[in-house]
A and B are shown apart, each in its own frame.
Chain A
Amino acid sequence: MSQTAIAQADWGGGASPFGVAWQKMMMWFFIVTDALLFAGLLVSYGVVRIATGSWPVQSEVFSLTYIAAMTFVLITSSATMACAVKAAELKRPQIATRWLWLTIVGGFGFLGMQAYEWSHFIHEGGAIASNPWGPPTFSQFFFVITGFHGFHVLTGVTVLLVVAIRAAIGKYSAAGIENAGLYWHFVDLVWVFVFALFYLV
Chain B
Amino acid sequence: MSSDAHPYRFYWILWIVLLTVTLLMIAIESASLPAALAAVVLLFGSAIKATLIIFYYMHLKFEHMALILTVLVGLFLTSILMFVLPAYDGLHILDTWRGLTGFSG
Interface residues of A (CB under 8 A from B): 10-11, 17-20, 25, 28, 31-32, 35-36, 39-40, 42-44, 46-54, 59, 64, 68, 71-72, 75-76, 78-79, 81-83, 85-87, 90, 181-182, 185-186, 188-189, 192-193, 195-197, 200-201
Contacts and interface: CB of A to CB of B under 8 A. Distances in A.
Given A19-B67, A201-B38, 18 more contacts: A10-B64, A35-B75, A39-B82, A46-B86, A48-B90, A51-B89, A53-B94, A64-B29, A82-B14, A86-B7, A192-B46, A192-B49, A197-B42, A200-B29, A200-B42, A201-B29, A201-B39, A201-B43
A32 B63 contact: no
A100 to B, nearest CB: 14
B105 A54 contact: yes
6 contacts: A31-B71, A76-B15, A86-B8, A192-B50, A192-B53, A200-B28
**Chain B interface mostly helix, strand, loop or mixed?**
helix
A185 to B, nearest CB: 5
B91 interface: yes
Given A20-B63, A200-B26, A188 B53 contact: yes
Contacts of A87: 7-8
